Structure formats: structure tokens, C-alpha cells
Homo-oligomer: A and B are copies of this chain.
Amino acid sequence: MDFRTEFKPLTVQPQEIEEKSFEMITEELGEHDYTEEQFKVVQRVIHASADFELGRSLVFHPDAIRAGIEAIRSGKPVVADVQMVQVGISKPRLAKYGGDVRVYISDADVMEEAKRLNTTRAIISIRKAAQEADGAIYAIGNAPTALLELIRLVKEGEARPGLIVGVPVGFVSAAESKEELLKLDVPFITNIGRKGGSPVAVATVNALSLLAERQG
């Protein structure tokens, strides 16, 4: 094909770029109270957002890292709230243990049911996930309503997540949904405030799967 030329640009390789970025992040972040493993997540979130304020706003349930690694290593699925989260998550590392990434929000039955109940597809997709994905890692980067529904289902004993990565972004209900998550006694990773988003959810899950792989 004619886009093939011999011109080789003077850029470093992706792996080198990532290593250099991680060094800069460690240096600029300075002191913090995260454990070594939690810091791997914080670092990757800052790498994905270039936002130290966002990185420093991350909060970990004491059991979050262990639970996340265990879910991945036992092949539990990751449930993404939206497709942007699904496509961003690195699949080969999950597949090694039998895991995959699922997203229900555009399923025909979910869309129908949301219409019938005049509610959001995000909510109905979480109800469907709760039935089909026991022990999953829920990666919610977009929809506060999805996170609030998941919290409700956990309280009622109808959802049993392995880990909740609850980092929706936005002005209406996002910060509030995360405050509710902080009160829940299940493993979670979340952040304080309005910020968050798909890249934060993706970076968190990818950091966890790297930690899972590191254990051999």
C-alpha cells in the first residue's frame, strides 16, 4: 500500500513513553498515603488524565486491590457501563485467566425494558449484569444512575460484585453516587467529586490486571 514509506519518525516507542511518563508522575505527585499496589492504580489514572487532582481523589476500600486481583485471576468478567470503557480495557491479560469484558447497555432486551419502565438503559443494564455476572468487577465510568442502581442491588442482596470501580463523571448525581459507594462494605475503588470518566475506569482495571499478572 502506498502509505508505506521508509520515513521513520523520530519518536520513542510506546513502552518508553509510558515508562518516562510514570517516572514524571511519581516525581510530581510527591508524598502520598497509598500502598504500593494502590499507587500503581493512581499512577495509571494520572497517566490517562494528566490530572493530579483526580489521581489524589481516588479512594480504595481496604480490600479493593486483593479483591480485584482475585476476581481477575479467577476469570470473573468485567462489566463495563458503556462501550467506551469496554473497548479501552486490555483484553489479553483478562483472557489469560478466562475473563472477558461485557457491556449490556445496547442489548435489545435492555433497551426495550428501559423504554417500558421509562427509565435509563444504564439502570436496566446493571440489573441484567447482576443476574449474569456473579463476582464480576463492575467498571462504571459514565453513568451515575448505573452506580446508584448497583448500590441498591448490593444492599438488597441481589448483586454480588467482586469489586466495584465506581468513577462516573458529571454534574448531576456523580459525586453523590460515589459518596453512597463509600458507605458500602464491599470492595470498591472510587474518587471524591465530580471528575471521573471512562479513561479512569479503564486505567483502573488495566492497572489491576497488570498487578494480577505480576503475581505470576
Contact = CB atoms under 8 A, between A and B. Distances in A.
* Residue of A86, A116, A199 with most chain B CB atoms under a 10 A cut-off: A199
Secondary structure class of chain A's binding surface, majority of residues = helix
Nearest to A202: B84
A80 B195 CA distance: 24
Contacts of A79: none
A149 B7 CA distance: 11
Contact of A3 (B1, B25, B113): B113
B199 A109 contact: no
Interface stretch (A12-20, A34-42, A93-101, A204-212): A12-20
Nearest to A24: B171
Interface stretch (A45-53, A65-73, A182-190): A45-53
Contact of A1 (B109, B120, B196): B109
B120 A49 contact: no
A58 interface: no
B8 A49 contact: no
Given A9-B145, A84-B87, A87-B87, A3 B173 contact: no
Interface of A: 1-6, 8-9, 11-14, 17, 20-21, 24-25, 47-51, 83-84, 86-88, 109, 113, 116-120, 123-124, 127-128, 130-131, 145, 148-149, 152, 169-174, 193-199, 202
Given A1-B113, A11-B120, A13-B118, 6 more contacts: A3-B124, A9-B149, A17-B173, A24-B171, A48-B197, A50-B193
